[in-house]
Amino acid sequence: MIPAPKKPQKLPVVLSPEEVFQFLGCIGNTKHRAILTTCYAAGLRISEAVHLKPTDIDSQRMVIRVEQGKGQKDRYVMLSPKLLETLRHYWRAARPQGEWLFEGDVSGQPITRNAVELACRKARRLSRIRKPISPHSMRHAFSVHLLESGTDVRTIQLLLGHRSLATTARYLRIATSKVCSASSPLDLLPRPLPVEPAPAAPQHF
């Protein structure tokens, strides 16, 4: 028996709340901004967001029904008041006529993932954020920002629709509230280390 090589475990690069705000503000198209805002506000996969229907938005209970997400499972996620306002603004501007909340160029079909991904790349260039950004980055940011605000992992697992808690728990390795809860031993030294003057150079971080 030859053991299978281990797959490298890479952690996603996560945007800060300020970077999410900056990125979303660079999306000029109302529909594209509404979709990516939904991905961040509710932690949806892009495939789930583009297949939303108007009837999935329940403003009475303030929830969004995700129908047949990954693994053919239905679930409910929170409907943020700010997201509801964004979706209502989009609705008044676009007036979609078919069954889909976010209609595509083809009649009777939802917008494609490729169209949203292209809009995402354009907004990243305009925002001048160096980090890689894809529609799924909004879902990663949703998870980590909830963790950093004190939401428990089990609740986040239900919101994301993860089958395994271990899948959700990997975000614990990214959340600054967890990673930075202890002080570096460098900060415990009695006084700062001496620093030699260096020529001026552009800042990269």
Residues with active-site annotation:
45, 70, 136, 139, 162, 171
CB 47 within 8 A of CB 116: no
Rounded distance between C-alpha atoms, residue 17 and residue 191, angstroms: 33
Write the DSSP symbol of residue 120: H
Rounded distance between C-alpha atoms, residue 40 and residue 28, angstroms: 17
Write the DSSP symbol of residue 103: B
- Which tokens belong to 131? 């980090």
Chain CA centroid to CA 94, Å:
24
